[in-house]
Structure 1
């Protein structure tokens, strides 16, 4: 392979990445990039030929050096960052600046972490049984078709399911492969029976072995470079300095011209590569549409008896009752005619049923009527549950919730590879990139008196301290709380002491302005505390007439930063989630960081089992939870419905004010992969005309992107917005609220009033200018 061929192959790799089969927005964009690359390669070859026309002997060296540089940045996912360069041998290193003598550097600091996914390719597999191998016979033959695998939307943990396609004449067993949806599993027994009917002897163990072999394909991290142009240009300057000056004694005019050619060609390539990475950045950071929204409201919040009667007589009430029974809110003897009762004062809700949680997903036709009861809708809500990858959520809701959050508690993956319903096997640098970008948002969301609590263990606590110092400032460090759990079962197989505590790092947005409340523990036995009095500015111990000291008996102890709270083992508050935290832990976090008697907002954007939202609701605070896993629907949402109905477990008995009742909204957000899939890019000519700026011109300017949502009425000179062409289930009111940062005041059928607006927005006849950031970027 010539150096020129090697260079173009490396460039193709760094630009496109390894070949990936399947379906999804990311794969669509890779195909578009491949088409565009073929055109830029033609243009580049013409420019190289013209540039070296006067220096033919420099041609081989030019391609050798171009290959040497660009091959350093190839990754299987097509991401642009360090791959095999000596500049990243040490991921963590000390960097000295004018402002700080030590800062943290990590390999992926300049990247947005998108997800960890496997690069699946269709794969033939063949292996003999032990008996067949002994006599030299052919074994079982499989073919796994990966062409229909839809790539993951985010970093959720999802298993594969295999479906039997056919058995070929040569006895090759063909499978189609998909990611599992809502817990679906491979039907192994049915597959084995079908294969055996074809006369092929196969065991369950052999089938599982074939599945395991296919699943062992490469798993890679997908990133987007935040500024590919600046990154590659900087790297080229570092590399070229070493190349230009090592061993050089003198420079001729010819040599200077040759090196200038190398720089010019390299920068043209960098400009073009960066165009596509910048396009991904724009799609990654565009505000996302709100989808599949519903409300959960208890009957006592509706208050309108006629509307309650409509709900109880609705055709879908049986589905709602079935859900209540599954959640244990009502028993099988429940009857709707007992919900309303009459007495001398008239008809009203029966006390027993006033906190029945109504999910509007069963009553979509009545939802506008329910919402129209509220003249300040968002203020009336207790909370929001958002199903989304959390970077997309934080970026989208920032305008609406900026500086409105008092307390943030997050319990992110600890980088262990275990325990979570999403990928938790990050390289240290990937983990740092994930947390760093999200903590940047957290600071913007916090009120000036707000606090953040970052829950970690020994796997990541020291990294977390570095990140928080960098983002919030070391001067705003408040505490390192140690959650000490005395009921951890020792693992005597290990050659180390059992770890019995986690760390919760606490930082204020502003140490001077932060809210802080002392907490107190009950003592098992009271202690004597000497009474004191200030006299002339001095503290004097008080004494009785007999000359002995006067004491108070104190039953409370002022808490320190060691919090002894047992792990959850068999407590009633346990839900189906491995890393659930005790409600008492979250209660203390909220209690020490909230203004007394003030209803403020608590946020958790690694919501997990929903404990933060549940405790916040019980304590009477507004709350905001973000979670991307499928347990959003199977764990968090059911838990919050039970909290509204009245949940007896956890801290409920200690919080006398909590008696049930409430009103919250839940929805999904459009994800990056979905946005990519909905973006339309032409396969036509790359440039309208070739110019000196061809590599820098914005090549996507004439592409449609998401403009298929617009219809132009040329006759009447109007633009009609039809968002159903993108998604059939958009909540336009919430989308606009997030986009503009204005809270929703009132909703009626096809109309929404936002904060500070006298006139409503007609959501069926939208002004396209309102939604431009959602569908078009340049």
Structure 2
């Protein structure tokens, strides 16, 4: 069922005063008639709307002693199909990437991902939970908030429960420095907007392993975020986060994302539009096919053994860094002399050679090219004993490329990464070594992150991952001497992510530790977005029966912020609502909460009823974080 927003009920009541001009006999809106008369500033209609207190409060603004009716915002309400439905269809003749007939690149909707049982898959869900989840109501899994509903949702939030972790353990802190590493617990979209003031244009590398889009429901993704999105919700979900992520990137920053084959083409189109690849083709760097599995199944038409890694840059002038030489590449340096190991390089090339001159071989054969280097360059190499002559076969000169020089220079990446870059099995083994069990179904290995961070950043650069999970990105960043920011909303941040980083500080020797000679050290700051309606949300989702749900609702009536359009009297007295199953009533109450008020806004930190909830050290930390940058 659907509860009609209070403001829409009020508007319909006014429109009803005009007979059948704006409403049918059945009470349905004649939208075109309403919009046309609003566009023409119909005096009678505008006067009635202007005088209504509720409409006046929400759509009239006083500017320089003149009251202005926000007509465009008001009209938008009629251009959408219906409030609180999944599509919000808007009519237009534009061609582009769409979901539910709405253009993703122009959509101002926001998708929030709520981590709660029966609607978003969670780590402790048993198999019978997964079976039941297939019929869950998807719009509540990843709730879409339409533009007219967004007010303060994306304002910077207050941080609370702040601690700094280092080799001496956890302790309170009241200051924040750009040299600090940061972990945030809270909704990642809201947290990203809280980073904007301090970090816009500052982040060198963003790595994302987002919830994948699958064409069919997946049972195995049962630990963190729900991956059983509708395409429409998933595209909006990703668009929201990628838009602000691009703002946080430095001018020479690079975005890296892993994605499965089902979602790859959709994510490419979406990210192409955000990074304006149509105007700046080089902003899309490329796509790597990564062999993610050690084994191969024998089911279906193809065995899915690879994921895709997409790379984008904010500026087309940005260059990728070289990768460390792989073990396979090192084996190519199979020759040696008094200088060291080397591999041979062609000097004679019938296609690319541009120089002709005579060279006499050790068996007195005369060769004239064509050569790839000039006569002067050849003589210099000969003087330095950097010419290789094969012992057997045809006597043709080669140059020498020494391993020690290549180790310093590195190698460019190919577009295929095999199992030597790490596989999901290796990631699972790393989890087992740290925690004694496998935590995620498809964990990324530290070796993969080592190569991606080598490709996109230097020591001292800032790395962001806002789908933090078990903190693989942050662990690798710490071992590679990068600064990092991680965001995670799931409760396992305190049972998996933070403990893992504590182990890294203590010098754990798993993953890439031995490769990079990690000996421990470092620190990070942990902070939570300060909950407001989020606390009621958790209590609603924890309710096991109608009695518990009613207790939470009574508390909500006293202290919660409801969506301004909701008529609670109608809600309480609606017989159809009372007949709904328990889970649907729970979802409905979640819907009624004002999502703008999930967390406390920083702008309200000095309000008397907010300041008293914050410790002095947390208050000072917020002032430091949102204040001057060092």
Pairwise TM-score range, normalised by the shorter structure: 0.5 to 0.7
Instruction: Check the 8 A contact 2:256/2:309 in 1, yes or no.
Output: yes
Instruction: Give the direction of change, closer, same or farther, for the CA distance of 1:298–1:60 in structure 2 (3 Å limit).
Output: closer
Partner of 1:613: 474
Instruction: Check the 8 A contact 1:288/1:670 in 2, yes or no.
Output: yes
Partner of 1:412: 210
Q: 1:571 pairs with 405, 409, 429, which one?
A: 429
Q: 1:588 pairs with 443, 451, 470, which one?
A: 451
Instruction: Give the direction of change, closer, same or farther, for the CA distance of 1:529–1:496 in structure 2 (3 Å limit).
Output: same
Instruction: Check the 8 A contact 2:322/2:413 in 1, yes or no.
Output: no
Query: How does 1:132-531 map onto structure 2 within 5 Å?
Result: 154-159=113-118, 218-221=137-140, 222-226=143-147, 277=148, 280-299=149-168, 358-360=169-171, 367=172, 377-381=176-180, 383-416=181-214, 417-418=217-218, 419=221, 420-474=223-277, 475=281, 476-485=283-292, 487-488=294-295, 490-492=296-298, 494-523=299-328, 524-527=331-334, 528-530=343-345
- Structure that is richer in strand per residue: 1
Q: Deviation of residue 156 (structure 1)? A: 1.4
What runs of 5+ residues in structure 2 fail to find an aligned partner?
34-77, 335-342, 348-371, 537-555, 568-593
Counterpart check, 1:81 vs 2:99: no
Note the alpha carbon deviations across 1:700-752, whole angstroms, 9 max, x for none: 9xx9x989x989xxxxxxx9634256667993334345545x33xxxxxxxxx
Instruction: Give the direction of change, closer, same or farther, for the CA distance of 1:545–1:573 in structure 2 (3 Å limit).
Output: closer
The one of the two structures with greater contact order (alpha-carbon pairs below 8 A, sep at least 6) is 2
Q: Deviation of residue 579 (structure 1)? A: 2.3
Q: Deviation of residue 379 (structure 1)? A: 3.7
Could you say what secondary structure the match of 2:139 adopts? strand
| Aligned-partner Cα distance in 2 for 1:553–1:571 | 37
Partner of 1:749: none
Q: 1:600 pairs with 461, 468, 472, which one?
A: 461
Instruction: Check the 8 A contact 1:521/1:559 in 2, yes or no.
Output: no
Counterpart check, 1:731 vs 2:618: yes
| Aligned-partner Cα distance in 1 for 2:146–2:564 | 24
Instruction: Give the direction of change, closer, same or farther, for the CA distance of 1:659–1:458 in structure 2 (3 Å limit).
Output: same
**Alignment root-mean-square deviation, CA:** 4.5
Partner of 2:484: 623
Note the alpha carbon deviations across 1:53-83, whole angstroms, 9 max, x for none: xxxxx975795662899798236x456702x
Instruction: Check the 8 A contact 1:296/1:359 in 2, yes or no.
Output: yes
Note the alpha carbon deviations across 1:466-514, whole angstroms, 9 max, x for none: 12211113221112111124513x332x222211111101111112134
Q: Deviation of residue 297 (structure 1)? A: 1.5
Output the TM-score relative to the length of structure 2: 0.63
Partner of 1:561: 415
Partner of 1:105: 98
Instruction: Give the direction of change, closer, same or farther, for the CA distance of 1:444–1:599 in structure 2 (3 Å limit).
Output: same
Instruction: Give the direction of change, closer, same or farther, for the CA distance of 1:727–1:40 in structure 2 (3 Å limit).
Output: farther
Q: 1:660 pairs with 516, 520, 531, which one?
A: 520
Could you say what secondary structure the match of 1:81 adopts? coil
Partner of 1:48: 18
Q: For this pair of structures, how many residues does the alignment match?
A: 463
Instruction: Check the 8 A contact 1:450/1:509 in 2, yes or no.
Output: yes
| Aligned-partner Cα distance in 2 for 1:563–1:288 | 40
| Aligned-partner Cα distance in 2 for 1:220–1:431 | 11
Q: Deviation of residue 415 (structure 1)? A: 1.5
Q: Deviation of residue 392 (structure 1)? A: 0.4
